[in-house]
């Protein structure tokens, strides 16, 4: 920890270890506050969001008053996200994936159509307010579905075209979406469940043999078994990163511009292969309970790190028109999830949980969807379909629709852009 006065402001610099420790403390604080505050428990607000929000407002107050600021060495966040998605992939047995069936396809199509509407909303509002198209599109599906990674990648491309504040707008829009996604996802799912008196029903399309696929081994794991499970996660993360890099080069060459294939998607894909090969080859004793526990820890720490290091004052830099676009996106997502997608998905418990997840990855990121659904599941019961379908669509499948359509919108409405 380092204390110094920089330009008259007391600056607190935390190294990587202290940053991680603080995230852990805030996570525990979030759980404590959530248990004590009925509102947070009632509306399924995730614990890392509670603790992260509290600290984020403290840093905001320090920044605005000029009293103090924090500097973080945040090197673990992306690693935790990568580890989490790897554990999701390891939980994806082909036998279980097949159970998504028709519902997965319907949800995928819904997400793709929503991404098109998001871009349409951005362009329509830009025409009304006079906002330049790049900033409108950065406040649409690029940041809402693509998250911070896509927002910064496209932001850099727009900056090279002369739109100087594009990266800042993209980052701020993604931040706004992330916050909005976690705030409306849990309450929306809760409202749908309680209004319609819905109960979990995991019997449909899930026979007993399938339910046993991801049941933890009753045999006690040896230390070597635990090490093997952890090492497999690390290997999948490493190989997945390499694969993602190669795919990024390929799609960039095909598109004629730099495009990034998400590293976590590569790791998740490799993990799926390893899990299903291992079911036949049995080269190590896979334990779902262990892997799932590791994934849960990684997810919560990732979100705690993400929330506590967000710079809330960036939102104040958004010009009125951009903020108007973002508000329209949030209203659209809430309304379409509540009144349209819920009915399309079957108006049942699984549909309610999936709509909660949709608000997460449709406005912020797939981990946000997971934490929204986890909060619902912990309170009302498990939805296996939602926990399998939403991450698959949010992490990878939706890109098949949203990326090409986004490039179409950019090619059509942004002067100087040419899709090669």
- Which residues is 12 bridged to in the sheet? 3, 70
d(CA 59, CA 232): 38
Query: Tell me: the pLDDT tens digits for 108-149?
Result: 999 999 999 999 999 999 999 888 899 999 999 999 998 876
**Most confidently modeled of 70-74, 217-221, 407-411?**
70-74
Per the CB < 8 A criterion, the answer to whether 129 and 324 are in contact is: yes
CA angle 234, 239, 240 (to 5 degrees): 95
Chain centroid offset of residue 26 CA? 20
Is the predicted pLDDT of residue 30 greater than 90, yes or no?
A: yes
pLDDT of res. 388: 81
Helix (H) or strand (E) holding 153: helix 147-160
Chain centroid offset of residue 31 CA? 20
Higher-confidence residue of 416 and 283: namely 283
Domains and CATH numbers, the chain: 2-413 (1.20.1530)
- Phi and psi at 171, nearest 5°, equal -65, -45
Is the predicted pLDDT of residue 362 greater than 70, yes or no?
A: yes
Percent of the chain with pLDDT over 70: 88
**DSSP symbol at 257:** S
Query: Tell me: the pLDDT tens digits for 149-160?
Result: 678 777 877 887
What mean pLDDT comes out for the span 229-245? 93
Closest by Cα among 251, 267, 287 to 399: 251
**What is 320-347 written as a DSSP string?**
HHHHHHHHHHHHHHHHHIIIIIHHHTTS
* CB burial of residue 57 (10 Å; 0-12, 13-18, 19+): exposed
Task: Specify the length of the chain in residues.
Answer: 420
What mean pLDDT comes out for the span 292-320? 79
- Which residues is 72 bridged to in the sheet? 14
Higher-confidence residue of 252 and 47: namely 47
d(CA 188, CA 43): 8
d(CA 156, CA 142): 13
d(CA 357, CA 373): 6
Closest by Cα among 300, 312, 296, 302 to 55: 312
**DSSP symbol at 13:** E
Q: How many CA atoms lie within 13 A of 2 on its CB side?
A: 11
Question: For 32-46, 287-301, 379-393, which range has the lowest pLDDT when averaged over its residues?
Answer: 32-46
What pairing do the DSSP bridges indicate for beta strands 68-72 and 9-14? parallel
Query: Tell me: the pLDDT tens digits for 178-189?
Result: 889 988 999 999
Is the predicted pLDDT of residue 206 greater than 70, yes or no?
A: no
The pair of structure tokens assigned to 287 is: 């334990």
* CB burial of residue 350 (10 Å; 0-12, 13-18, 19+): buried
Helix (H, G, I), strand (E, B) or coil at 68: strand
Helix (H) or strand (E) holding 28: helix 16-36
Query: Tell me: the pLDDT tens digits for 5-28?
Result: 888 888 899 999 999 999 999 999
The pair of structure tokens assigned to 23 is: 């995230």
């Amino acid at each position: 920890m380092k204390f110094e006065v920089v330009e008259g402001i007391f600056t607190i610099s935390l190294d990587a270890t202290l940053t991680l420790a603080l995230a852990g403390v805030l996570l525990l604080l979030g759980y404590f506050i959530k248990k004590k505050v009925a509102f947070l428990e009632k509306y399924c607000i995730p614990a890392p969001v509670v603790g992260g929000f509290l600290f984020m407002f403290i840093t905001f107050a320090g920044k605005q008053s000029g009293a103090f600021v924090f500097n973080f060495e945040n090197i673990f966040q992306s690693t935790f996200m990568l580890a989490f998605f790897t554990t999701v992939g390891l939980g994806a047995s082909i036998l279980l994936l097949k159970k998504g069936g028709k519902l997965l396809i319907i949800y995928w199509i819904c997400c793709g159509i929503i991404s098109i509407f998001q871009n349409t909303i951005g362009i329509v509002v830009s025409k009304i307010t006079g906002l330049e198209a790049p900033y409108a599109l950065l406040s649409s599906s690029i940041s809402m579905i693509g998250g911070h990674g896509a927002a910064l990648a496209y932001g850099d491309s727009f900056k090279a075209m002369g739109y100087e504040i594009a990266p800042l707008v993209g980052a701020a829009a993604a931040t706004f979406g992330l916050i909005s996604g976690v705030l409306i996802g849990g309450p929306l799912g809760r409202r749908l469940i309680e209004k319609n008196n819905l109960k979990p029903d995991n019997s449909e399309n899930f026979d007993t043999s399938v339910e046993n696929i991801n049941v933890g081994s009753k045999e006690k794991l040896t230390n070597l078994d635990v090490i093997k499970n952890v090492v497999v996660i690390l290997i999948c993360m490493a190989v997945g990163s390499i694969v993602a890099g190669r795919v990024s080069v390929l799609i960039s060459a095909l598109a004629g511009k730099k495009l990034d294939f998400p590293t976590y998607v590569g790791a998740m894909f490799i993990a799926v292969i390893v899990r299903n090969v291992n079911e036949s080859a049995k080269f190590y004793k896979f334990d779902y309970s262990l892997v799932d526990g590791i994934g849960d820890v990684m997810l919560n720490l990732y979100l705690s790190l993400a929330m506590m290091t967000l710079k809330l004052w960036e939102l104040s830099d958004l010009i009125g028109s951009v903020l108007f676009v973002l508000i329209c996106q949030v209203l659209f997502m809430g309304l379409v999830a509540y009144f349209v997608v819920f009915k399309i998905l079957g108006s049942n418990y699984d549909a309610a949980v999936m709509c909660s997840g949709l608000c997460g990855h449709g406005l912020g990121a797939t981990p946000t969807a997971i934490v929204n659904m986890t909060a619902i599941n912990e309170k009302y019961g498990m939805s296996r379909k939602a926990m399998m379908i939403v991450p698959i669509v949010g992490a990878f499948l939706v890109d098949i629709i949203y990326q090409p359509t986004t490039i179409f919108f950019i090619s059509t409405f942004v002067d100087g852009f040419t899709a090669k």
